Chain A
């Protein structure tokens, strides 16, 4: 810690990375979250064979900016019976929790806000779970029965995520034996394997739980169902509502980062210990240059001037980024920055792939009913996650005593698979029994 003798300049010298990263998180994450929304819309239209946002800007690139202006200029509607203080506070809580939890994450070995705190991953989980206070407070503040219902259902769903996701994460934490984010990634480098290959069940359970927790499809009854109302915060409009929206997408980035750090090797490139794949370290620079060149080629063929300009801007941004990435190769004193930049590239790629899987699942699978969803969480995911913890522990014991690492892992994973099939079978029997006895009860939440 800084003591009184150190001046402001020294303070800034020691902490400038943290300040820059904090500024980047606060300033850029909402923008990125906005563009993830646009990307989601594009992807959904692609997968569902529609056209989607194409009119505003180049292929709808300015759609986000148009949307945010619309949201900002909308009339701020406050329900008459609302408790103003809580109504005002609730969206801020959601957004602040999501942004704060991003602060403890590492994006590449150098880019972070919080200095290697001992309990990094728990901090991220804990603070992001505070965000849900925002939704239940909103449900209370608007003072309407239907809104209370939807807020309570959202909260029930989120608690399921917290438990199931938390237990699923423990399997990876057992394997690395630490809660420090930096040390988790280093453990994966030292053990020459990403933890998704050692504990695949944990990864997939966290994936399901994360979709729970961020209200994405197929687990999005708060959004999709017409039962109470079609959103968890239906009384909010304009800017307040957009805070919720951004908070939701920032939360998606958070869960993707947790999964990437714990299971997908964080900022490590694929096969970090295979030397003939070292050329992968050169990949980011040329890749960005290629994107820039592609934009430049397409720029001349655009129908309107503003689209040409926007493509040029994208190309220039790409070239500047490429210069930032490539210069450290040429000048030796700047080479220290290289692992950080490469790490950021791989980390962001992993997050993007993870988010792509989210959207893919959403557009492919049919939506769950609310009772089915809670049943999946409480009767299948949570017991399975507990079994998973025990089996990973047994595998680690087998490995340390007998040394057959892969054999132990395969045996335990087969065991988890058997447990999952057993639980699914039980669930099928239960569902069949329920539907044959009382066909009405299973439909209590529909429409």
Chain B
């Protein structure tokens, strides 16, 4: 029972702050609610005994990426921009996309067993104490079975980083003389 209470509490927080994130005009407020969403999702990860995902979510997303987001918002003064630029509200297209997505989710949830295929797969609930340590299992997966994809991703990230450095340098060169 405690588990379900905690789950609904944090899921509620996540959904609510995700909604607030979209509707806030002020970009810093949006960023704060995005952080709340990320933290609430992290707690749900912890409930699922995915400790490493939980801490990666806090350390990388809430602690690292969001700090950079806010850094950029503060530096570029993005909060001033929306007052000057009017976005074109494409309500019809957005509504259509949302309706289609909602319909898909509803079909999956309600009719999964009747449609062809295996239906909804609900994994067997294991006792948390008997599970292998989450971070070790993740490391084993990344460095044995999925070594090649992992390395390719790391090369991609390296390329992105080098690209960012090159772009920053180019800009400086044209600015200074």
User: What is the interface of chain A, defined by CB distance below 8 A to chain B?
Assistant: 1-4, 83, 85-86, 89, 117-119, 122-123, 125-127, 129-130, 132-133, 136-137, 139-141, 148, 151-152, 155, 159, 162, 179
Q: Are A140 and B3 in contact (CB under 8 A)?
A: no
A179 surroundings in chain B (CB, below 8 A): 135
State the Cβ distance, B70 to closest chain A Cβ, in Å: 5
Partner of A119, one of B1, B54, B66, B79: B54
Chain A residues closer than 8 Å to B128, beta-carbon distance? 1
A119-B28 CB under 8 A given contacts A130-B62, A162-B64: no
B58: min CB distance to chain A, Å = 4
C-alpha gap A167/B29 in the complex (Å): 32
Cβ–Cβ contact B135 & A137, under 8 A: no
Residues of B within 8 Å of A4, CB to CB, are 1-2
Interface check B164, CB cutoff 8 A: no
CB neighbours of A86 from chain B (8 A): 28-29, 32
When the two chains form their complex, are residues B32 and A117 in contact, meaning their CB atoms are under 8 A apart? no
B15 at interface, CB cutoff 8 A? no
With A86-B32, A89-B32, A132-B67 known as contacts, the answer to whether A122 contacts B59 (CB < 8 A) is yes
Residues of B within 8 A of A155 (CB): 67, 71
Complex: chain B residue closest to A123, CB-CB: B55
Given the contacts A119-B54, A119-B55, A127-B58, A137 and B32 also touching, CB distance less than 8 Å: yes
A98 to chain B minimum Cβ distance, whole angstroms, is 13
> Which residues of the other chain, A, contact B2 by a CB distance below 8 angstroms?
1-4
A152 touches B63 (CB 8 A): no
Q: Is the beta-carbon distance between A148 and B58 smaller than 8 angstroms?
A: no
B64 to chain A, nearest CB (A): 7
List residues of chain B with CB within 8 A of the CB of A117: 51
- Among A129, A139, A152, the one with the most B-chain Cβ atoms within 10 Å of its Cβ is A129
In Å, the complex CA distance between A119 and B28 comes to 30
Q: What are some 26 contacts across the A-B interface (CB < 8 A)?
A: A3-B1, A3-B2, A4-B2, A86-B29, A118-B51, A118-B52, A118-B135, A119-B51, A119-B52, A119-B135, A122-B55, A123-B55, A129-B67, A130-B62, A132-B63, A133-B63, A133-B66, A137-B70, A139-B74, A140-B28, A140-B73, A140-B74, A152-B71, A155-B67, A155-B71, A162-B63
Q: Quick check: B35 and A133 within 8 Å, CB to CB?
A: yes
Q: In whole angstroms, how far apart are the Cα atoms of A376 and B144 in the complex? A: 36
B26 at the binding interface (Cβ < 8 Å): yes
Asked if A136 and B71 sit within 8 Å, CB to CB, the answer is yes
- A118-B134, A123-B55, A126-B55 given; name 9 further pairs at CB < 8 Å: A4-B1, A4-B2, A117-B51, A119-B55, A119-B134, A122-B55, A127-B58, A140-B28, A159-B67
Contact with A along B59-86 (1 / 0, CB 8 A): 1001110110011011100010000000
Tell whether, in the assembled complex, residue A152 and residue B74 are in contact, meaning their CB atoms are under 8 Å apart.
yes
Given the known inter-chain contacts A117-B51, A118-B52, A118-B133, please indicate yes or no for A137 contacting B62, CB distance below 8 A: no
Most buried by B among A83, A118, A137: A118
Determine the residue in chain A with the shortest Cβ distance to B77: A148
Instruction: Report B28 CB to chain A, min CB distance, Å.
Output: 5
Which B residues between 31 and 49 are near A, CB-CB below 8 angstroms? 32, 35
Known: A125-B59, A148-B74. A83 touches B52 (CB 8 A): no
- The minimal Cβ–Cβ distance linking B132 to chain A, given in whole angstroms, is 10
Interface centre among A4, A85, A140 (most CB of B within 10 A): A140
Residues in A with CB closer than 8 Å to B63 are: 126, 129-130, 132-133, 162
Contact check: which of B58, B70, B73, B134 meets A123 at CB < 8 Å?
B58
Nearest A residue to B3 via CB reads A1
The chain B residue with its CB closest to the CB of A127 is B58
Closest A residue to B54 using CB positions: A119
Q: How far does the Cβ of A378 sit from chain B's closest Cβ, in whole Å? A: 13
A234 CB to nearest B CB, Å: 16
**Whole-angstrom distance between the Cβ of A383 and the nearest chain B Cβ:** 15
A213 and B157 CA atoms in complex are apart in Å by 26
Which residues does chain B contribute within 8 Å of A151, judged by CB atoms? 74
Query: Given A2-B2, A119-B52, A126-B58, is A133 in contact with B74 using a C-beta cutoff of 8 Å?
Result: no
Indicate if the CB atoms of A129 and B59 lie closer than 8 Å.
Answer: yes
Instruction: State the Cβ distance, B96 to closest chain A Cβ, in Å.
Output: 34
Residues of A within 8 A of B51 (CB): 117-119
Instruction: Tell me the minimal C-beta distance from B40 to chain A in angstroms.
Output: 14
- Give the docked Cα–Cα distance between A140 and B69 (Å): 13
Collect the chain B residues with CB atoms within 8 Å of residue A122's CB. 52, 55, 59
Q: Which residue of B lies closest to A89 (CB)?
A: B32
Instruction: For B57, give the chain A residue with the smallest CB separation.
Output: A126
**B79 to chain A: which residues have CB within 8 Å?**
140
Min C-beta distance of B66 to chain A, whole Å? 7
Residues of B within 8 A of A123 (CB): 54-55, 58
The distance from the CB of B94 to the nearest CB of chain A, in whole angstroms, is 27
